[in-house]
Amino acid sequence: MTAALFLSLITNVLPLIGLSSSYGLIIVGVLTIIGLILYQEDDLRALAKLTYKQLRRRFTATTDPLIKDYTLPVVHFSDPRLNGLQANGAAAVSPNGSGAAAGLESLGNVGRRRILIKGGTVITIDPALGNFANADVLIEGDKIAAVGHNLSAHGANSADVEVIDASNMIVMPGFIDTHRHIWEGLLRNIGTDVPLEGRNSYMSHVLQRLAPSYRPVDAYIGNLVSALGALDAGITTLLDWSHIQASPDHTDAIIDSLHVSGMRAVFAYGFPWWGKWEPNQPGWFVRAAKTHFSSPHQLLTLALAPYGPEFTEFEVSKSHWKLARDVGARISVHVGVGTFGKKHKLGEFGEAGLMGSDTTYIHCTTLADDEIQWIVDTGGTVSLAAPVEMMMGHGMVPTQKFLDRGLKPSLSVDVETNVPNDMFTQMRSVLALQHALLHNRALAGERNLPRLLTAYDALEFATIEGARANGLDHKTGSLTPGKEADIILLRTDMINVMPINDPVGAVVWGMDTSNVDSVFVAGKPMKRNGELCNVDMNRLRDLVYESRDHVIRRAGFRLPAI
């Protein structure tokens, strides 16, 4: 029923009950307002508890003074060399400058010696090198110097060489996550039973209700706890799809958190998905590019995370692509997402010559076959998040569609609001689903089926294909000498995997985050002997809960009851 027909019906009925037909427009207006409130708030009691400022912020999407004059706390350093900015630990960053500019050190800057990893089972993910049942890896500075048998570190003072006994370890490249909204670290497991779209959904709760309540300091802490969780899980590189850029202060805080974490990251600047479009956003993005990404040698690189053609007009999306390319940034974009993907807007981009090898396409679950072919033909890369896509209603994971066309996907966690933060879950999910679908086709009598993926395929998706999708395969993703030393050591002497009969199979199907013993990023130790380096967990825990409570309270949101 159209609005006009509804209004006509009301104005014709009102005289029958003794009221003037002029009340019709008022009634329609009141009902519309009530409908909007009910659509945005699934609990009127929670709405009634909101303060005037919260209501004003919710329905006008305006900013308030809480995003100004903030300070970022020293979150987690137990090593005194990392706490040198202020003796009282009150603040680590000025609101008007980056951590790097203010002298903020990352965790990994403590101690950069030569490291010799001895006697491990080495999975290189480099076909030219192959794998080794028993071999060594030599790290010099931030680079992998050599991989092979009986290596030594001759020519260096013994005090400058750390030898690690890896006889009960698998040595391999760090995992690479190509798409995660890590500002949501404060909201872990908050939406495990909700879908992507709808009134009671990830979009309505997280993006439209909770996200506007984030101050820069909340984004900083959420980012940091998620980045540290990724390192703890053996993920050395992560693309931070950061659609929380409500102000330049938010941007500075988030970039500082990535610096401080010590991990290799692609900061994908994303426009907020709530409120009105901020016309200053393109300028803010260019400012971030110039302020924080002037050196190609740092651990952080830049990308743009635009809305994409399914979520905004063609000309707007076209301008976003130009914006990214003007500053030399990669593009990471959601396409083929649930019902939005059924609009089939990506083909227009292909026909306009806008698609290219600098773009990673996320999900792709409801793309048409011709749109998938556009991605392949233009050299694009793909990021799949199988657990999220299966659970939240994105559509069927399109692994086989890309494999049939010769394109190997990368893997990503996506949202910790709904799924675990590790790549073991991602590898197992994409493998199990591909096997299930092919076995089902075989049982139906189909012949000449594609080959079943192997555990080694999944390792490639989670390492070198991730590096390729992030534009970093020249730096990381394999244990190729000359690449930067992003390396993890996985324990093989634990009860969940002993005895090791198939090292690759053990990593993919037998291990979990408890097996991650050591993590190195560019040769710097981030985790050793099962513990994150220099992390004051008690301090971090206090700040995480304090920040989480603020966001929840400010949004008028109720956590799930137990």
| Same structural domain, 464 and 491 | no
- Rounded Cα distance between 79 and 109, Å, is 11
Give the residue from 66, 86, 101 where a domain finishes.
66
Give the residue from 449, 469, 489 where a domain finishes.
469
Q: Is residue 223 situated within a structural domain? A: yes
pLDDT at residue 291 in the model = 95
User: How many domains does one find in the chain?
Assistant: 3
Angle at 418 between CA 414 and CA 420, to 5 degrees: 70
pLDDT at residue 2 in the model = 55
| Same structural domain, 379 and 289 | yes
Q: Is residue 543 situated within a structural domain? A: no
| Same structural domain, 145 and 288 | no
| Same structural domain, 18 and 151 | no
pLDDT band at 118 (very low <50, low <70, confident <90, very high): very high
| Same structural domain, 221 and 243 | yes
Q: Is residue 557 situated within a structural domain? A: no
Q: Is residue 94 situated within a structural domain? A: no
Which residues, including other chains, have CB under 8 Å from residue 271's CB and lie 6 or more apart?
Answer: 243, 245, 277, 278, 281, 305, 306, 307
Distances (CA, A) of 75 to 87, 88, 101, 475: 14, 12, 18, 29
pLDDT band at 51 (very low <50, low <70, confident <90, very high): very low
| Same structural domain, 344 and 432 | yes
Q: Is residue 442 situated within a structural domain? A: yes
Does the structure show a pLDDT above 90 at 137? yes
pLDDT band at 16 (very low <50, low <70, confident <90, very high): low
- Report the DSSP pairing between strands 516-521 and 524-528: antiparallel
Query: What is the distance of C-alpha 73 from the center of its chain?
Result: 23
Q: Is residue 539 situated within a structural domain? A: no
The CATH number of the domain holding residue 127 is: 2.30.40.10
pLDDT at residue 319 in the model = 95
pLDDT at residue 200 in the model = 85
The CATH number of the domain holding residue 340 is: 3.20.20.140
**pLDDT per residue over 165-180, tens digit each?**
999 999 999 999 999 9
| Same structural domain, 379 and 510 | no
pLDDT at residue 152 in the model = 87
Q: H or E stretch including 389?
A: helix 386-392
Give the range among 17-26, 91-100, 230-239, 414-423 with minimum mean pLDDT: 91-100
pLDDT at residue 297 in the model = 82
| Same structural domain, 56 and 162 | no
Angle at 333 between CA 327 and CA 335, to 5 degrees: 150
**pLDDT per residue over 495-516, tens digit each?**
999 999 999 999 999 999 999 9
- Rounded Cα distance between 385 and 402, Å, is 14
Does the structure show a pLDDT above 50 at 57? no
pLDDT band at 277 (very low <50, low <70, confident <90, very high): confident
**pLDDT per residue over 320-334, tens digit each?**
999 999 999 999 999
Does the structure show a pLDDT above 60 at 479? yes
Q: Is residue 456 situated within a structural domain? A: yes
Give the mean pLDDT of 221-233. Answer: 98
| Same structural domain, 509 and 383 | no
How much of the chain, in percent, has pLDDT values that exceed 90? 70
Q: Is residue 205 situated within a structural domain? A: yes
pLDDT band at 468 (very low <50, low <70, confident <90, very high): very high
| Same structural domain, 243 and 345 | yes
Alpha carbons within 13 angstroms on the beta-carbon side of residue 539 total 13
pLDDT at residue 296 in the model = 78
| Same structural domain, 166 and 220 | no
Give the residue numbers spanning the domain of 520: 109-173+481-530
| Same structural domain, 123 and 162 | yes
Q: What sign for the dihedral angle of Cα 485, 488, 492, 494?
A: positive
Question: 211: closest CA among 181, 166, 239?
Answer: 181
